[in-house]
Amino acid sequence: MSQGQFISNCAADTLSSAAESMKNGALVAFPTETVYGLGADASNEKAVARIYEVKGRPQDHPLILHIASMNDITYWAEDINDYAIALARAFWPGPMTLLLKRSDKAKDFITGNQEIVGLRIPAHSLALNLLAEFKKIGGNGIAAPSANRYGAVSPTTAQAVSAELAEYLQPEDQILDGGSSLVGVESTIIDCSKENPSILRPGAVTAEMVEQSTGIILLEAQEPIVRASGSNKQHYSPKARVLIGKDAQLGDGLIAMDGVLTPDGVNRLASPKNNEEYARILYSALRQGDDAGLGRIYIDPPEGLGLAVAIRDRITRASSS
């Protein structure tokens, strides 16, 4: 089976047929602004079970539910805090997932038996169009984790999804190609089920941005009160061993800001000029290192606040074993 066989370029009618096949239980991987997701009808238990099979992910890990518009929040969630509505208004569509008290529509097979559900409206035209087409035919939301095997690096291109998952897909499944994801790291996860919101996973919607545009102060989650697979220590790992720093040796890979010199004989995988570019290329640079068969990749993390916090979080996880 060739890896490319699942990839569709997106002509207008591709999305309605993708939505249709998802309604019939197929899996559809699709681009978002953060990373590619592996989507299934969030109301279809069998289809959602296939996500777990294809990812090789433990059954009790909850999935993020992608919705088409703010109107769909109350289908899946209830008793919504005012601050959660303010966050959604400020940052949706966008790289932010809100954990809310679930309604009876969000079943255990989505929430991993928890009383909260994760919701997000992605900021990607193809994802939004797919969600809209799905809604037209009676769909209420698309469950989609990142489209990688469990524990591996999230894919930021259709080709990376195919390389990760093609061997586990069925003929009716497909991968929609929307080019490279612009943000490159997974959404910020904010727990909105308590009196005060807290960040469970840092992302491109930063605590500083939230405070500036809404006045809401996000707490740091002391320890994950809820199970979030991205909060397992080892996650987002390539095959190569990841070491933090820039002292790469002969034959190693190196990811570091532009301006950091490449030692002789070192395979420079990326030289981003700022944090936005760093987040965007981090996962593809790790994949490139694996494709080149490198044994070790050194990563020199960016400093400071903002998006650098999310980048350091993913680098730390990739390096822990």
Binder among 146, 162, 187, 275 for Mg ion (CB under 5 A) = 146
Distances (CA, A) of 47 to 19, 20, 24, 42, 110: 13, 13, 9, 8, 11
For residue 10, the minimal CB distance to Mg ion (Å) is 23
Angle at 164 between CA 158 and CA 165, to 5 degrees: 85
Reference 123, options 90, 99, 149; nearest CA is 90
Q: Which is nearer to ligand TXA, 111 or 319 (CB)?
A: 111
For residue 297, the minimal CB distance to Mg ion (Å) is 20
Site for Mg ion in 125-144 (CB under 5 A): none
Q: Looking at the DSSP assignment, which residues form a beta bridge with residue 174?
A: 28
Binder among 68, 84, 144, 160 for ligand TXA (CB under 6 A) = 144
CB count in 10 Å sphere of residue 295: 11
Taking a C-beta distance cutoff of 8 angstroms, is the pair 106, 117 a contact? yes
Q: Is 118 in the site for ligand TXA (CB under 6 A)?
A: yes
- What distance in Å separates the CA atoms of residue 182 and residue 140, rounded to the nearest whole number? 26
Q: Which is nearer to ligand TXA, 175 or 257 (CB)?
A: 175
Binder among 15, 28, 29, 35 for ligand TXA (CB under 6 A) = 35
Structure tokens at 100: 């809310």
For residue 139, the minimal CB distance to Mg ion (Å) is 22
Q: Which is nearer to Mg ion, 144 or 192 (CB)?
A: 144
Site map (CB under 6 A) of ligand TXA, residues 219-258, x = contact: -------xxxxx----------------------------
Structure tokens at 61: 């890990």
Site for ligand TXA in 78-107 (CB under 6 A): 97, 99
Structure tokens at 97: 């997932």
Taking a C-beta distance cutoff of 8 angstroms, is the pair 38, 146 a contact? yes
Binding-site ranges for Mg ion (CB under 5 A): 146
Binding-site ranges for ligand TXA (CB under 6 A): 32, 34-35, 37, 61-64, 97, 99, 111, 114, 116-118, 120, 122, 144-146, 186-187, 189, 226-230
